[in-house]
Structure 1
Amino acid sequence: MTNNEFPSIAVYGVSGHTGGYILADLRRRGLTPILVGRNAERLRATAEAAGLPDAELRIAAADDRAALVAAFTGADVVISSLPGYVDIGEEILAAAIEAGAHYVDISGEQLFTRRVFDEYGPRAEKAGVTVVSAVTDSNLPADLLAHLVAQRLPDPIDFVISHRSRSGGDGSRGSAKTVLASLDWFRDGGWHYADGEFRTGPVDPAPMRYPGDAEPTAVAKFAFPAVLTIPRHTAAATVTGVVDGVFRENITGLTPELVASLPEKPSAASDLRFDMVVDATGADGRGLRGVLSGLDSYRDSGLIAVEAAVRLAAGTAKAGALAPAEAFDAEDFLNSLAPHGITWTITNRVGA
């Protein structure tokens, strides 16, 4: 860390909706970030709007490796805040590693997360930096909750993870771009984990009764990155991601024209509260449910990304590409979110 009290954090992609929340939390913490992007005027306007007029601006396009490395050099951590990481995310990640900076992103894409572990994990380890991908309102909580639940159940454990948004899918254009970039993958449900390997193909999940609901909801397989990370630190027999079947049908019907017509930000009337649910069944048949509940999926992803970046800046995590539970103390991290109205519980699963 360049300064024990004030880490140097570079942010790429600050002009997006979640990027605004990232900047707001950095400002709340008294941190002045390095803002990196391709357009100086837009960066300057973003910095001023965020109340960070003294933020350093560094210019680098997402496909200019040399400029990105120069922009990230001297930063303790890079936060990558983008839509569609499978299209444009790798250069930012590669440049952060080359610059010797730890790295966090808010990707929601299994395909990108798999590349992070398989292709960039060895590079990060060699460079002595830590990479934690998919640090969002759904994936980091799912991974940390699964870790905590696994400590309470006998092996092996079956996990079903699900994100339930009260908005019904009324999200931002950036979220839609993310789905569109991997549309076929999301449509097919992505990977699930079974018999020691990641598998594609259909599954037949049982209906899920979400917190606060009187009746179960029909669910469909969904491609959560946490499916890839949970087996890294638990004795998982299976890990399956599911969402409300109607929600999955709606988002996988996206077209480029529809995405272009969406607003940059969710409407002010949108209810962006959410629950991230982890249902686990141990070898003895006993079930536990972990739930993290938040107030705004976008705000909370930004808060979580900053919390992760500040923790990585301390330099205590081992080098390489890590699951959240490999990089952070699960209970301590989740408890740190309480001042923002983000709560979590682990209870016996009865009739879930």
Structure 2
Amino acid sequence: MTNDESTRFPTIAVYGASGHTGGYILSDLRRRGLTPILVGRNAQRLRAAADAAGLPGAEIRIAAADDRAALVAALTGADVVISSLPGYVDIGEQILAAAIEAGAHYVDISGEQLFTRRAFDEYGPRAEKAGVSVLSGVTDSNLPADLLADLLARRLGPAEFVISHHSRAGGDGSRGSAKTVLASLDWFRAGGWHYADGEFRTGQVDLAPIAHPNATEPTAVAKFAFAAVLTIPRHTDARAVTGAVDEIFRSNITGLTPELVASLPERPGPDSDMRYDTVVDARGADGRTLRGVLSGVDSYRDSGLLAVEAAVRLAAGTAKAGALAPAEAFDAADFLNSLAPHGITWTITNTVGA
């Protein structure tokens, strides 16, 4: 196979393809004319996922998350690995470590600060030594927030950022999302890290109500542990970065229990409105304010689309090796513009008082 052919038709392995977002990942790979390798522990579930996505000829490789040798063998030969899991802090490291050992670039849809921090601190040096790129936290909230912040910082210079995410569904999601929150429940309850004065800090932050797009009035918000809080300071002169979600959502997750999570549906209800807005509000040192907004169709579908887009771009081999923020791997505007055919739009505007 020539280098040109390798760039056009990368080999992508998907771990966790039988989940809700995994189905969207497979469907988008098929749309692109790519036949992935499905990796996991249950051949029957993987074959059913491949068939449902219109990929009956996809290769199935069996490897449990706690079997390192089997994982490395299953991921060897892939240009990129997409990890689609619930609760990365529990089992995500094994897939990340195996991908690096197999010499594959890596993308995941983790929404967990604790895991993304490990990806940078513990696995970034390994990835750099192996000559592969690692991109953790590719979700509908984190990747757009990171790219929007990069574009805002180019206009404002040193700035304070507040990242917020507003879902029309009001927290109605999948069992997998609930598992993710449950795996780091105390961390999510506490609000995670924010960034201030050159370091990551815990503790509460006073946040003013946020006027979300299309909302009739500002919404009370609480600090939230978005992974983009960790990535934005890597490529901007950020003075502060804080994540925020609707106060009612933060209150709802505090009551999660294993029994409640087990009782939840595997997928959101058919009448759930999964549209969302990811918002980055930025204030420059001179007082100027700008707002970046990405508006999407379905949080789960769009996270899958983002993961595939990122994987295909990493397969081209133009990103540097190591663990990267999205804006360190890709041109922000070019990546965001590529999402338009899927109904995902973005804008940057002056905010009131700018």
TM-score range, shorter chain: over 0.9
Cα RMSD (Å):
1.0
Partner of 1:146: 149
The aligned amino acid for 2:322 is G
Q: Give the superposition deviation at 1:346.
A: 0.2
Q: Give the superposition deviation at 1:42.
A: 1.6
Q: Answer yes or no: is 1:246 the counterpart of 2:248.
A: yes
The secondary structure found in structure 2 opposite 1:14 is coil
Q: Give the superposition deviation at 1:215.
A: 1.4
Query: What is the rounded CA distance, in whole Å, between the counterparts of 2:157 and 2:69 in structure 1?
Result: 49
Structure 1 segments unaligned to the other structure (5+ residues): none
Partner of 1:227: 229
The aligned amino acid for 1:339 is P
Superposition pairs of residues 260-275 of structure 1, within 5 angstroms: 260-275=262-277
Deviations 1:265-311 (A, max 9, x none): 00000000000000000011000000000000000000000000000
Superposition pairs of residues 48-59 of structure 1, within 5 angstroms: 48-59=51-62
Partner of 1:95: 98
Partner of 1:133: 136
The secondary structure found in structure 2 opposite 1:152 is helix
Query: What is the rounded CA distance, in whole Å, between the counterparts of 2:96 and 2:353 in structure 1?
Result: 43
Q: Give the superposition deviation at 1:214.
A: 2.6
Q: Answer yes or no: is 1:61 the counterpart of 2:64.
A: yes
Deviations 1:231-254 (A, max 9, x none): 000000000000000111102221
Superposition pairs of residues 19-98 of structure 1, within 5 angstroms: 19-98=22-101
Query: What is the rounded CA distance, in whole Å, between the counterparts of 1:98 and 1:90 in structure 2?
Result: 12
Partner of 1:15: 18
Aligned length: 351
Query: What is the rounded CA distance, in whole Å, between the counterparts of 2:20 and 2:130 in structure 1?
Result: 31
The secondary structure found in structure 1 opposite 2:155 is coil
Partner of 2:115: 112
- Contact 1:280-1:287 within 8 A present in 2 as well: yes
The aligned amino acid for 2:91 is I
The aligned amino acid for 2:321 is A
Identity %, equivalent residues: 83
The secondary structure found in structure 2 opposite 1:211 is coil
Partner of 2:289: 287
The aligned amino acid for 1:300 is D
Q: Give the superposition deviation at 1:8.
A: 0.2
Query: What is the rounded CA distance, in whole Å, between the counterparts of 2:169 and 2:44 in structure 1?
Result: 33
Q: Which residue of 163, 167, 170 corresponds with 1:168?
A: 170
The secondary structure found in structure 2 opposite 1:284 is coil
Partner of 1:306: 308
Q: Answer yes or no: is 1:334 the counterpart of 2:336.
A: yes
The aligned amino acid for 2:176 is G
The aligned amino acid for 1:192 is H
The aligned amino acid for 1:54 is G
Moved more, 342-351 or 7-16: 342-351
Moved more, 45-54 or 126-135: 45-54
How has the CA–CA distance of structure 1 residues 195 and 42 changed in structure 2, closer, same or farther, with 3 Å as cutoff? same
The secondary structure found in structure 2 opposite 1:285 is coil
The aligned amino acid for 1:186 is F
Partner of 2:185: 183
Query: What is the rounded CA distance, in whole Å, between the counterparts of 1:268 and 1:181 in structure 2?
Result: 26
Query: What is the rounded CA distance, in whole Å, between the counterparts of 2:75 and 2:265 in structure 1?
Result: 31
Q: Give the superposition deviation at 1:351.
A: 6.2
Partner of 2:215: 213
Query: What is the rounded CA distance, in whole Å, between the counterparts of 2:250 and 2:217 in structure 1?
Result: 19
Moved more, 41-50 or 133-142: 41-50
The secondary structure found in structure 2 opposite 1:268 is coil
- Contact 1:179-1:252 within 8 A present in 2 as well: no
The secondary structure found in structure 2 opposite 1:122 is helix
The aligned amino acid for 2:7 is N
Query: What is the rounded CA distance, in whole Å, between the counterparts of 1:10 and 1:147 in structure 2?
Result: 29
